[in-house]
Amino acid sequence: MTPQVQFQLPIFFDIGATFIWAITGAAMGVRRGYDYTGIFVMAFVSALGGGLLRDGIFLQHGPPVAVRGPMYLITVLVGAMAGGAIGVWAGGRRPTLLWRTLSNSVDALGLGAYACVGAQMSLEMGLGAPSAVFIGVVNGCGGGLLRDVLTNAIWMLPGQLLAIAALAGAIVFVGLQELTNLGATNSAWIAIALTFVIRMLAIRYNWRTRALRPPPT
């Protein structure tokens, strides 16, 4: 079997996804009345939180990728300024349908892509398939989860098919890596496509999982 090549996101997608997530995080900070520091923190956590959880808690292979060079921090800073300007211009109004569609599409693509990146990095460090799948899901969903903790909001719950979409993509990616000769890149794009379709269909048709019991009134 030929050696697997590490999956690498095309740089324009990596930076583009980071930029869009920074914009959405900053815009949320403006709507919640945060100052400049709070808006930047929201942008940073939204864009890079998943990778920080992956590198700092699970893989622990040196400084997180996000802080090894200035590229990601500059992207987040520019995205924070753009998101802040959009939030001020919107005056606290709800995002338009076009903006929500664009944001959801980028989130869905990034969800699958970063799930694959986290899983691939785990496999390269010698972790087993279950661990790689778990870290891949954390990498994909971690930024939104940390953002919700900071804002006391609910993004993944109740019942949204978000972590499940990332889980499906991570399982497919790891399975293809372990059982076929497709290579990391081809396996990743298949997994990204599956994650994107599941997530966008879930948004379009409001697919949700059912609660085990109704919440208290």
Express each pLDDT in 73-85 by its tens digit: 999 999 999 988 8
Q: Where are the extended beta strands (E) located within the chain?
A: none
Please determine, for residue 173, whether its predicted confidence score (pLDDT) is greater than 50.
yes
| Model pLDDT, residue 101 | 82
| Model pLDDT, residue 89 | 78
Nearest residue to 110 (alpha-carbon basis) of 22, 217, 202: 22
Express each pLDDT in 148-162 by its tens digit: 777 776 655 556 788
| Model pLDDT, residue 213 | 76
C-alpha–C-alpha distance, residues 164 and 201, integer Å: 13
Looking at the structure of the chain, the number of domains it has is 1
* Domain housing 73: 11-205
C-alpha–C-alpha distance, residues 10 and 20, integer Å: 16
C-alpha–C-alpha distance, residues 23 and 43, integer Å: 6
Is 6 inside any structural domain? no
Is 53 inside any structural domain? yes
C-alpha–C-alpha distance, residues 172 and 192, integer Å: 9
